[in-house]
Amino acid sequence: MTSSSPAVSRHPGWWVPNALTISRICIIPFLIAGIIGFGNGTDSIFANGYLLFFLIFYAMASDFFDGFLARRWKLVSGFGRMIDPIADKLLVAGCLIAFCIAVNGEWVIVVPAIAIIFRDILVSGSREHAALSGRAMPPTNLAKWKTSFEFVSIVVLLFWIMGRNYLEIDDAIPFIKAHAKLVGVVLLWISAAMSVWTGQLYVRAALKD
């Protein structure tokens, strides 16, 4: 006689967290096109301020809710743990590269952008090395703060890029352009410093015997 155990029922929204993460990856090309479009003063559907801000805030909201729902509904999976940081890195790298193009290689943006992108590639390799040794390297709290700083700096720089395309018909436009660039660049450099610091921690941890 054989006995069968009852099937384990899944939460009806089991697909939502991963769908949010994948959707975040899918909007990245539109964000890149929009940033470059505003940087070049191109009049297109991608260079639409309302659409661009909707996309960037959707990206940040989905980054929060995919993890929140997965933990709340106990749906944490290996695929989710893998794809979520990849989505974040693709989003940040895509936006930073777009900003570098939009500002024609201005060094105050290019230098921290290179540091952040190189760090993310190096950390991905370090995690792969650790995984081959049977060790997991989950994101640290400092690394999560670093990602938050990156997202905020992207939003602030977006205000600046968009402000450059508008005539200075009132006092708000030049104020936004002047201060948004300063704040965005400062946040980007802070993000780069945190990236370098956390990056070397990951590498050192991965190389431990």
pLDDT at 116 over 90: yes
Is residue 151, in this structure, part of any structural domain at all? yes
For residue 103, the tally of other CB atoms under 10 A from its CB is 18
pLDDT at 50: 76
pLDDT of res. 17 = 86
For residue 5, is it within any domain?
no
Domain assignment present for residue 169? The answer is: yes
Question: Is residue 117 predicted with pLDDT exceeding 70?
Answer: yes
**Overall domain count for the chain:** 1
CA 44, 49, 52, 54 torsion: positive or negative? negative
**Cα–chain center distance at 87:** 7
User: Is 8 within a domain?
Assistant: no
User: pLDDT tens across 44-83, in order?
Assistant: 556 667 788 888 889 989 988 888 888 887 877 777 778 8
Band the pLDDT of 197: cuts 50, 70, 90: very high
**Location of structure tokens 């929140």:** 68
pTM, rounded to two decimals = 0.83
Domain membership of residue 198 (yes or no) is: yes
Is the residue at 3 inside a domain?
no
Q: Which CATH number characterizes residue 84's domain?
A: 1.20.120
More confident residue, 11 or 83: 83
Q: Give 47 or 206, the one with higher predicted confidence.
A: 206
**Residue whose structure tokens are 């989710």:** 80
Q: Residue 143, Cβ neighbours under 10 Å: how many?
A: 21
Nearest Cα neighbor of 101 from 42, 59, 156 is: 42
| pLDDT tens digits along 184-196 | 999 999 999 999 9
pLDDT exceeds cutoff 50 at 5: no
CA distance 47 to 25: 19
Q: Is residue 102 situated within a structural domain?
A: yes
Nearest Cα residue to 196 out of 206, 204, 207: 204
Domain of 94, in residue numbers: 16-206
pLDDT digits (tens, 9 = 90+) for 134-177: 777 777 788 888 988 999 999 999 888 877 766 555 566 667 77
Q: Is residue 10 part of a domain?
A: no
Compute CA distances 75 → 7, 42, 97, 126, 135, whole Å. Answer: 16, 43, 33, 26, 22
